[in-house]
Amino acid sequence: MKSGKTIALSAISTALCTILLVFGAYFPTFDLSCLFMASLAVTLPLAKNSYKGAILTYLASLLLALIFASSNFTVIVCFAVFFGLHPILNYYLISKNKKPINIFTIVKVVWFIALCYVMYYLLNMFTDVSEFLKESAIYILFIGGLVIGFVYDVAFTRIQTVSILLIKRLKL
């Protein structure tokens, strides 16, 4: 019976994640907040210590978002590269190491900076950008990605821990 609850929780998580990704793709004002909430939706199966459920939630949500929201490719790429994988990796690293800030935080911040560079180059392949922005974008992305990535990782780790404890307390 416990595996049935885990499967149902994974299915609900997939539906919630897909709805948030589609909503974020069609309403660009909410794309970052929907990506964040979709990341939280991936953590639902992790509350039952089900890595398989979380990975299947990630893959199914990504596939369904590709089908329903392929018009906004940036949301899907951001989810595929960072926001969908980050909660799974974060939970694994939290369960192995109890320190809130450690070497893994630095690795996740570097991963976030790499995502910023990938998105910058993907978006600028189709647009013409001024020379000043081309020259200073590397520094802006590095410093901004460093600060935002660190704040995001610390905040997401705390929110993920609280949400998992809440789900375990509710005995879903």
pLDDT 10s digits, 34-50: 998 999 999 989 888 88
Residue 164 is part of a domain; what is its CATH number?
1.10.1760
Residue recorded with tokens 């709805």? 19
**How far is it, in rounded angstroms, from Cα 21 to Cα 25?**
6
Q: Which range marks the domain in which residue 133 is found?
A: 2-170
pLDDT 10s digits, 83-127: 888 899 888 887 777 665 667 778 888 888 888 888 787 777 666
E-strand stretches of the chain: none
**Domain count of the chain?**
1
Q: What are phi and psi of 98, to 5 degrees?
A: -85, -5
Question: Cβ distance 66 to 76 under 8 Å?
Answer: yes
